[in-house]
Amino acid sequence: MPTAHELYDAAADRRDHGDKEGAVAILEEALVLDPNFTIAHGMLAKLCADLAMTDKAIEHAKKVVELEPDDGFSYTALSVIYQRCGKIPEAEHAKAMAWQKQMGVD
């Protein structure tokens, strides 16, 4: 049985060959093995946004923030996902949180 990291690599390969739906399915398998696999949640957020699966995109982007609460980039990525999903006030809030984290403001 492949590891979560091996599944992630397989999903990246699928994505790179244009099979975003297949990549999503593989990443979901990886998260069964490791529900806290941050990078898999991040890729899923982006892929789901690309596939207009807005609720799932936001869910995975929020999970990245939950798993990496001190990482400003996590909030930046969440802001981008919110923006792509048409949730501008939420995007602005996440952007402000990213700035606070990057500046070391709590």
- pLDDT at residue number 102: 86
- pLDDT at residue number 106: 67
For residue 87, count CB atoms less than 10 angstroms from its CB and return exposed for 0-12, middle for 13-18, buried for 19 or more. Answer: middle
The C-alpha atoms of residue 75 and residue 90 are separated, in whole angstroms, by 11
Write out the two tokens for 6.
Answer: 């091996």
Domain parsing of the chain, residue ranges = 4-103
Residue 10: φ, ψ to 5°: -65, -40
DSSP conformation letters of 17-39 = TT-HHHHHHHHHHHHHH-TT-HH
- pLDDT at residue number 104: 82
User: Does the pLDDT at position 66 exceed 80?
Assistant: yes
Mean pLDDT calculated for residue range 3-30: 98
- pLDDT at residue number 54: 96
- Asked whether 46 and 16 are in contact (CB, 8 A), the reply is no
Q: Which CATH class is domain 4-103?
A: mainly alpha
Write out the two tokens for 46.
Answer: 């982006």
Q: Global pTM?
A: 0.93
Q: What is the pLDDT of residues 28-58, one digit of tens each?
A: 999 999 999 999 999 999 999 999 999 999 9
